[in-house]
Every structure is written in C-alpha cells, then in structure tokens.
Structure 1
Amino acid sequence: MEPVRDFSATPTLSNRVTVLEQLGHRHLDDLIRAATVDELWRRWCVAVPAPEAMVEDVDRRLAEQRDGLSASWAILTPTTGRAVGTTSFHSFDPANKRLEIGRTWFAAGLHGSGVNPAVKILQLARAFEVLDVHAVELRANWHNHRSRQAIERLGAKQDGVLRKHRIQPDGTVRGTVVYSITDDEWPAVKLTLRDRLYRRYGPGVLEPVV
C-alpha cells in the first residue's frame, strides 16, 4: 500500500536566497510592512491582503491548515530573518495526486529578483520528490501580466483560461489563467530553475541555510 503523505505539513525549506517556514502570527508585523511598501496591496490585479486584513488572512490560512486543507509558509530573507511574503499549497486532490501552489506574494522591491524561482524550486521539489504528485497547478489573474510571465518562466504550460471566473473585492470580474507542471516535466524544469539561480547567485545557491 502506498504511504499516506501529509500535503498540509510545512517543514522548513531553505536555500541561500530564501527560507520558507510555517506561517504564524510572529510574522504579522513583517508581512504588514512588506504589503505596505509601494502600497502593494492596493494593486487591483494582485491578491495581497490589506494591512488591516493581514491578521484575518493569516488566521484563515492557519485554520485551513489545521483542517488539512492547505499548507502555508512565510517567505523569509535569510540574511535578516524577516518575512517578506507568503506562499501556500492548497486545492489538494490526493486521489489524483495533484495540488496547487498559490496565494504567493512578496514585497514589491523583490519583484524581478531571484526570490520567485528560489521559492518555487523549493516548493516544486517538495511536491514532486516528497509528496509524489503527478501535477502542480498554478493560476494567475488574466490581467496580471507580470505574474503570468513569472509562471511561464518557471516552465509551466498553460492549460486554459477560466473566463469571468471570480468576482473581486472591488466588484470587478477576473479571468483566471490556469497553468501546470507535471512530474514528467519536473526534471527539465528543475534544471532550468537551477541554472537560472546559478547564473544569478553562483553554484552554492541551492545549499540549505544551516
């Protein structure tokens, strides 16, 4: 019988660029600060909690995790130990060995840096090599071209577009672009991400932070 894998577990994952640790209330001050820079939370096509809603957002994620419905990490900068964003596994489908990576955001000043590929290589390695999933799904707002390009640069393939998929808090209706990476594609995706990080940070970048 195949072992039961705990999709909602959140072990600490790290490399020289980022540390992912279990999201908790201790990260709230840092997360509020990160969301406030350049008023990131006001950007209509980015799903970042407003500062006054951050406690509620973290509480909701923790409640989901207790129920086995998601796994949420705080994204930390290794040199400072400060939280600069969050990311999650959710939409678990153990019977079909699928999950989604989402609810990912980080401080505006880190957009275009190596943080996103550094975070994703940790999450994808856990999903494919530890949880043994067949596919990882990623989604983006149709109008969020930066996010869509970042997902495509990971090597994810577009599966389709959910038109008029979700009503936003401001009343607008978003379309959602759905992407995925499969277990067959993971080895090539991993090499591509590794090479991107090597070019930016050097060959020791994937070593865990002690």
Structure 2
Amino acid sequence: MQFLTPTTLTGHLVSLEPLDDVHIEGLRAAVQDGHINDLWYTSAPAPETVAADVKAKRDLAERGLMLPFALRRLADGQLVGVTTYCHPLPTVPAVEIGYTWQAASAHRTGTNTEAKLLMLAHAFEQWGCRRVCFRATWFNHPSRRAIERLGAVFEGRIRNDRIMRTGEVTDTAQYSITDGDWPAVRRHLDHLLAK
C-alpha cells in the first residue's frame, strides 16, 4: 500500500473520511460547538476560515505532505472535527498524527480514542511505520493529557519552534509510539474503548 493513500477508516464510534469540500458546512458547525477555535493553543479554525483551512489541508495532501480526515460521529452522522497524518517520512517509515480538533460535544465520548486507534493501526499495520509521533503546543494541557493517555512516550520540549495563529511564539511537547510499543498500546486502547 502506498504511503498516505486516501482511505476511509471506520470504527464503532467514528468514521474518518478523507477531507473534502463537502465537509465544510458540517465542520463550520462543529467548530462552533464549544467555540473550540477560541482556545488560542489549538489548531481549530474560526468558523469563517473553515473553507480556507480545508483548502490548505487538501493542497498539502495533493503534494503528498498530509492525509487529512473529517471525523464523523456514527451515532448521529454529525461531523465532529478533523485530524491528519502529517510530516511523513516514507523512507523510515514514520508519520505524525496532528492538527486534531473536535467539537466540545465529542470530548470524552471515545471518538478521539477510537480515531487514534484506527490511525495508529493503519500506520503500523498497513504502512509498516516504525514510529508515529504526536506534537502539542506546550500550553495545550488537555491535548497533552490525551496524548499521554494513549500511551505515547514524552520525548521532550522543543523550544520556540512554532508561531501560533495569535502571533505568540511558543514551545512544543513531542511524544511518540514506536512499532515495539504498538502491541501494548493497541491492547491499552482496546481496553479503554471497551470500558
């Protein structure tokens, strides 16, 4: 299977659909659910910039630099957010999972955990990745806790490496899961979702 080939990943709670213009209106509603974009440390776009955000992600996908998904909650068919594979290193192979945001109503419902399980399984079991990394703004404590809850290992604080959409320069917390970690992480995620 070719690295970063668009595909739909479906679980019991959520479906990850390759990001497309048909998702714009649903994502505009999702980002307003809890005003996720008001959190300065997130990558969630403002409602009026959702179309531009989708276009930018699709442009990166066409260049082989990203595989973005719209997250659809299966219980009601609503779009609840976005996540991506990004910063691919096909020769390793390795990839990052990032640019994730979800509507407030999706928080703590299992959709993020299942989305990450689907993405990790695809990266390790279909693409043969040796590592999958996650990065979060240093001050994004909810995302950092969510990444740690997955079983990712903290690798360090990268200083002054990103400029936020608000103009602040800030640090990044970097985490990873390796192919050696994957069997135990998969068991852990299956356990979390079964609870």
1:152 corresponds to 2:148: yes
1:35 corresponds to 2:35: no
Instruction: Find the aligned partners of 1:117 and 1:39 in 2 and give their Cα distance.
Output: 21
SS for the counterpart of 1:96 is coil
Instruction: Find the aligned partners of 2:114 and 2:29 in 1 and give their Cα distance.
Output: 22
Q: Name the counterpart of 2:132.
A: 136
Q: Name the counterpart of 2:189.
A: 193
Instruction: Find the aligned partners of 1:96 and 1:125 in 2 and give their Cα distance.
Output: 17
Deviation of 1:113 after TM superposition, in Å, equals 2.2
SS for the counterpart of 2:81 is strand
Given the two structures, how large is their TM-score scaled by the length of structure 1?
A: 0.90
1:120 corresponds to 2:120: no
Select the structure of larger CA radius of gyration.
Answer: 1
**Greater displacement, 104-113 / 155-164:** 104-113
Counterpart residue type for residue 148 of structure 1: R
Counterpart residue type for residue 56 of structure 1: A
Instruction: Find the aligned partners of 2:190 and 2:42 in 1 and give their Cα distance.
Output: 27
**Greater displacement, 188-197 / 165-174:** 165-174
Deviation of 1:7 after TM superposition, in Å, equals 2.3
Of 46, 50, 61 in structure 2, the residue corresponding to residue 50 of structure 1 is: 46
Deviation of 1:188 after TM superposition, in Å, equals 0.1
Count how many residue pairs are aligned between Structure 1 and Structure 2.
195
Is this contact kept in 1: 2:82–2:101, CA < 8 A? Answer: yes
Counterpart residue type for residue 156 of structure 1: A
SS for the counterpart of 1:86 is strand
SS for the counterpart of 1:61 is helix
RMSD, matched Cα: 1.0
Deviation of 1:78 after TM superposition, in Å, equals 1.0
Q: Name the counterpart of 1:171.
A: 167
For structure 1, the 5+ residue unaligned runs are 200-210
Q: Name the counterpart of 2:18.
A: 22
Deviation of 1:117 after TM superposition, in Å, equals 0.8
- The Cα offsets for residues 87-123 of structure 1, whole Å up to 9 and x where unpaired, read as 1101011112111000111101222221111100000
Deviation of 1:82 after TM superposition, in Å, equals 2.1
For structure 2, the 5+ residue unaligned runs are none
1:74 corresponds to 2:70: yes
Deviation of 1:150 after TM superposition, in Å, equals 0.3
Instruction: Find the aligned partners of 1:142 and 1:38 in 2 and give their Cα distance.
Output: 21
Instruction: Find the aligned partners of 1:82 and 1:38 in 2 and give their Cα distance.
Output: 15
